Amino acid sequence: YKDNYFDRNWSEASNNGFLKSAYHFYDVNNDGTKQAEHFIKVVPKEECTLPPVVDIEKVSDVEQGKVILEIKEYVTLIEENYGVKPIIYCNIDTYNYYIKDIFKDYLIWFPTYNTDAPAISNWTFWQYTDSGTVKGITGPVDFNKFNGNGEDLLKLAGVK
């Protein structure tokens, strides 16, 4: 799937001085290589962007070893193409089941709401609500916190 507004939003983010990245909702029922190839086809390789993000959700009826193998294929191809490890977005169940012991060198974007801090200590981004409001946007908006300062964020995006 490609968002109908992706090309416009990608371009306009740059034109308006925003740091940007692209996000992929990983489907554990589909081939990791094919998903990575689609992402690479859609998302341009540019300097001064945040690492690509892959959202991995735990699905209990899919065999753990197969899912881990497919995720490895996906993240390997993404890293080879973009030159950085993708950020892994996952909840605590997914983290404990697929990520924690296998993908230790990856940055984690962790969603947890109505708490003072994420349930894991090694988070890079924390999505702390899915019900924020922003003037000009209709409906709820996710709010996130970066575990660092502005200089750290620019460094993560490769801004010199």
| SS3 call for 160 | coil
C-alpha 100/C-alpha 90 separation (Å) is 11
Give the SS3 label for residue 86: coil
Residue 72: band (very low, low, confident or very high) from pLDDT cuts 50, 70, 90: very high
Residue 58 has pLDDT above 80, yes or no: no
**pLDDT over threshold 90, residue 3:** yes
Model confidence at 57, in pLDDT bands (50, 70, 90)? Answer: confident
Instruction: Kindly report the pTM of this predicted structure.
Output: 0.94
pLDDT of amino acid 92: 92
Using CA atoms, how far apart are residues 61 and 49, in angstroms rounded to an integer?
A: 35
